[in-house]
Chain A
Amino acid sequence: MKPVALWIAAAVLSAAADNSFLIRGAAVYPVSSPAIENASLLVLDGRVAAVGPKIAAPKGVRVIDGKGLRVYPGMIDSATEVGMSEIGAVGVTNDVRELGDFKPQLRAGIAVNPSSEHIPVIRANGITAAMAVPDGGVIAGQASLMRLDGWTWEEMAVKLDAALHLNFPAIAARRNTPFSEAKREYNRDLKQLDEYLEQARRYQTARKAAGPGFRTNLQFEAMLPLLEGKVPLMVTAVREREIKAAVEWAEKQKLRLVLSEVRKPGAMLAELKAKNIPVILGPVQDLPLDHDDPYDAAFTLPAELYKAGVRFAFGSFGNQFSRNLPYQAATAVAFGLPYEEGLKSVTLYPAEIWGVSAEMGSIEKAKWADLMVTDGDPLEVKTQVRRLFIKGREVDLESKHTRLYKKYLARP
């Protein structure tokens, strides 16, 4: 890490760069530490250089008046189809679900269309990064953490292989099958999954040995980061039984887990805490899973996880409602989650869970300046995002929606 003095010196040279600026007189909410009223925030070469009550702007660095505004880290949506799906009902615009059961070699990030109309719409509400998650089959592919700005997917990618997405086999998913048959299919699927892992491990060994006749297999190559513990397995498991099976299975397989779409963890909460397994929750604004669940079951789940000491972040699990990510956190807060935790669940916690907290998720020295500037509490619907910065570069808040708004409001 470079010392600030060096940065400032370097910045003087590139003072005209558009990723250096000073925001003055704003309330700064670093999230990782208490808010500072009437503060300054210096960004140099796209990274946070300093936060404090009084910071002088280095020569040539543009100054932004932050009076009446608040600065927060940009939000991170932990499960989306951003850029992978344009119009839900039109098959040819969807690249989320590939054929086949085991396809760890698929990389979501390369199918993220940087020109998708969804991207400007989502980021206009303060979301600066999102997980693009592939689906379908058992091992669906690699989920990619993408910044919501860039000319190409390559520029957008924070981490192309942020996680491998696995839909854990579930008996509950087989609704129209008699139980005995469903159980048989479930056992078969589990066995297939075990065998797949076994094959991947044999491949790993063969690869190390590099004996004659060794041939590259792209599927198993893609499994190596998982087996080496470099990448977590993002496992969709909804009910207690599936969660229990997935956790036990992952332990046996010695794999690192991030659970996803957890809805009824039941007694597994203590286990998740003990094993330090994080969870992607969402959508919070959802109906209860079962008819006789309390009406607010989905609203109170985050607070239950918090009380049990389980780490979690929120995902919107789609495209069109990604911009409402902060309101998921708000609903969780209304139903018992401490406010600070709600805010962290859409900023710092996802960054930690996806292993990028050294780079983003809070306003701290040397982190990328992924920032939203608002006129109020970002969890409140009425609040407007006034400015947005990704890697210190100011991002346009215009979108298809604002363009049509202006055009038709002006219709005579």
Chain B
Amino acid sequence: MTRLLWAALAASFTLPAAPPVVIQNARVLTVTRGSFTGAVLVKDGKIAEAAEKVMIPPGARVIDAGGQYLMPGIIDCHSHIAADSINEGAVSVSSMTGIEDVLNPDDISIYRALAGGVTTANILHGSANSIGGKCIVIKTRWGSAAEGLKFKGAMPGIKFALGENPKRRGMDDGPAGSRRNLRYPGTRMGVEDVIREAFTEAKAYQARWKEYEAGKARGETLIPPRRDLKLEPLVEVLEGKRFVHAHCYRADEILMLLRVADEFGFKIRTLQHVLEGYKVAREIAAHGAGASTFSDWWSYKVEAYDAIPYNAAIMVRKGVLVSLNSDSAELMRRLNTEAAKTMKYGGLTETEALSLITINPAKQLKIDDRVGSIEVGKDADLVLFDKHPLSSFAKVQKVFIDGALYFDRDRDLSERQLLQLKKKKLLEQEKQSAPQQKKQDRRPQ
């Protein structure tokens, strides 16, 4: 009751709407509807108009882009920023855990990603388990609390992992000391088994609940089944309410997972990394899975030894929905030139290359009705580059999320000195207060 009252109060006291913003004289790369020189009108956080000429509403803030390049906010389909921890490695199935519970809005990586043009990111659990924890899609709203980072309305996800990472804890070929505390699985065979066992359990659990609901509907008095937080997310996967994002490398394990999913009647939403995806692109396309890969990583482990920078291009040509991701707080800041590499390796067009970091990951995360291109009605998540974003020399100038300016290079540059002064002051304060603190330091009894 109180909560309802608060909700009603909050709704009636929403902040006054921000004035409309017009970004004009820009080279607009819509990604889905070609490119033009013109303007974008932003109203209430949404793209209201995108055309060669737009009417400037009274009171609008006008930004002259000076011929610079405006593109939709970049989407990273695989990241671990803004998370306090990412791996629960003690169990083979850790679907009861979730990144949502450990979101850290103070992670400086959020700001750095923003400064690289990233406005949306899929924050995944780590790859220590065959079935890992739940994932969450965020917008890089630097300065918000954890709740404010969340991409409201995005489909929830869960991480799966195949190959070397999930089996590492089960391999007994390490040095003597590491052979203790082995955890199943230790082979790719075991990884498949763990997933099949889990979904067999999940199906039984789903059936128990269905039986209970049916009985209840018939008016019977029944004890509900005991809730299982590990199996619940898997039932959601079976019912198409939660997306599977599966870390994988080798062609054999990719095919294995597609067949397991077929067997249990669910879909793999995205294959992550999927460095040998080019070997089974036909099968991936047939299953309808998306592929989110690196541009040119290879050779860091055996399962990455057949990785080639042509992977994205081959999969695109064979009909797979492909995106490029970073999996790295560093690489995340330059996905634009990562996309350019697919033009070099495999000859994708400019639009195809840009799609890999905008509309394609948006489709993979099923948020393409909201983000991923410059279209009327979509969220005003926009990035202004000084040069064409596929150029090695391009720099992000401004980033908007929901129409609000979240990154401005000029502002960043002008605030640097001030931040240095603040830091100096804090350090001095700390020095002065340090001895005092010692005196006051009383240990609890």
Which residues from chain A sit less than 8 Å from chain B, CB to CB? 86-90, 117-118, 121, 285-288, 291-292, 294-296, 319-321, 323-324, 326-327, 330-331, 333-335, 379-384, 400-402, 404-405, 408-409, 411
Residues of A close to B390: CB separation below 8 A: 381-382
Contact call A334/B300, Cβ cutoff below 8 A: no
Residues of B close to A401: CB separation below 8 A: 298, 308-310, 345
Give me 8 A-to-B residue pairs in the complex whose CB atoms sit less than 8 angstroms apart, sorted by A's number. Answer: A285-B330, A287-B112, A296-B115, A320-B296, A321-B296, A381-B392, A405-B308, A411-B279
Contact call B299/A319, Cβ cutoff below 8 A: yes
B178 at the interface (CB under 8 A from A): no
Residues of A close to B196: CB separation below 8 A: none
Contact call A382/B344, Cβ cutoff below 8 A: yes
Contact call A334/B302, Cβ cutoff below 8 A: no
Contact call B344/A383, Cβ cutoff below 8 A: yes
Contact call A90/B395, Cβ cutoff below 8 A: no
Contact call A287/B296, Cβ cutoff below 8 A: no
Residues of A close to B419: CB separation below 8 A: 292
Contact call A382/B340, Cβ cutoff below 8 A: yes
Give the tally of cross-chain contacts (CB within 8 A): 109
Contact call B392/A380, Cβ cutoff below 8 A: yes
A297 to chain B: closest CB distance in Å? 10
Q: With the chains together, A404 CA to B298 CA distance in Å?
A: 13
A222 to chain B: closest CB distance in Å? 31
A384-B278 contact in complex given A291-B108, A334-B393, C-beta closer than 8 Å: no
| Chain B 396-445 residues near chain A, CB threshold 8 A | 412, 416, 419, 423
Q: With the chains together, A334 CA to B416 CA distance in Å?
A: 19
Which residues from chain B sit less than 8 Å from chain A, CB to CB? 108, 111-112, 115, 164, 278-279, 281-282, 296-302, 305-306, 308-310, 314, 317, 329-330, 333-334, 337, 340-341, 343-346, 390-395, 412, 416, 419, 423
Contact call B298/A320, Cβ cutoff below 8 A: yes
A338 to chain B: closest CB distance in Å? 12
Question: Sorted from nearest, which 3 A-B pairs have the closest CB atoms?
Answer: A330-B392, A89-B301, A381-B340
Residues of A close to B309: CB separation below 8 A: 401
Q: With the chains together, A192 CA to B77 CA distance in Å?
A: 50
A294-B392 contact in complex given A285-B334, A287-B112, C-beta closer than 8 Å: no
A334-B394 contact in complex given A405-B346, A409-B317, C-beta closer than 8 Å: yes
Contact call B412/A295, Cβ cutoff below 8 A: yes
Q: With the chains together, A294 CA to B317 CA distance in Å?
A: 40
A400 to chain B: closest CB distance in Å? 8
- Closest chain B residue, CB of each to CB of A403: B308
Residues of B close to A379: CB separation below 8 A: 392-393
Q: With the chains together, A411 CA to B314 CA distance in Å?
A: 10
- Closest chain B residue, CB of each to CB of A321: B296
- Give the contacting residue for B310; candidates A321, A333, A405; CB below 8 A: A405
Residues of B close to A321: CB separation below 8 A: 296
Contact call A334/B392, Cβ cutoff below 8 A: yes
- Closest chain A residue, CB of each to CB of B308: A401
- Closest chain B residue, CB of each to CB of A335: B395
- Closest chain B residue, CB of each to CB of A381: B340
Residues of B close to A288: CB separation below 8 A: 112
A298 to chain B: closest CB distance in Å? 9
B147 to chain A: closest CB distance in Å? 23
Contact call A320/B337, Cβ cutoff below 8 A: no
Contact call A327/B299, Cβ cutoff below 8 A: no
Residues of B close to A331: CB separation below 8 A: 334, 392
- Closest chain A residue, CB of each to CB of B338: A381
Residues of A close to B393: CB separation below 8 A: 330, 333-334, 379-380
Contact call B296/A324, Cβ cutoff below 8 A: yes
A295-B111 contact in complex given A118-B299, A330-B393, A334-B392, C-beta closer than 8 Å: yes
A295 to chain B: closest CB distance in Å? 4
Q: With the chains together, A409 CA to B279 CA distance in Å?
A: 9
Residues of B close to A294: CB separation below 8 A: 412, 416
- Give the contacting residue for B302; candidates A87, A286, A384; CB below 8 A: A87
* New contact pairs (9) apart from A320-B298, A405-B346, CB-CB < 8 Å: A90-B302, A118-B299, A121-B298, A287-B112, A296-B115, A320-B297, A335-B395, A401-B308, A405-B314
- Give the contacting residue for A87; candidates B300, B310, B343; CB below 8 A: B300
Q: With the chains together, A292 CA to B317 CA distance in Å?
A: 43
Q: With the chains together, A339 CA to B115 CA distance in Å?
A: 23
Residues of B close to A291: CB separation below 8 A: 108
Contact call B344/A381, Cβ cutoff below 8 A: yes
B106 to chain A: closest CB distance in Å? 10
Residues of B close to A383: CB separation below 8 A: 344
- Give the contacting residue for A404; candidates B308, B340, B412, B423; CB below 8 A: B308
- Closest chain A residue, CB of each to CB of B386: A334
Residues of A close to B416: CB separation below 8 A: 294
B48 to chain A: closest CB distance in Å? 31
B186 to chain A: closest CB distance in Å? 16
Q: With the chains together, A400 CA to B298 CA distance in Å?
A: 11
Residues of A close to B330: CB separation below 8 A: 285-287
Q: With the chains together, A50 CA to B43 CA distance in Å?
A: 63
Contact call B395/A87, Cβ cutoff below 8 A: no
Q: With the chains together, A82 CA to B419 CA distance in Å?
A: 41
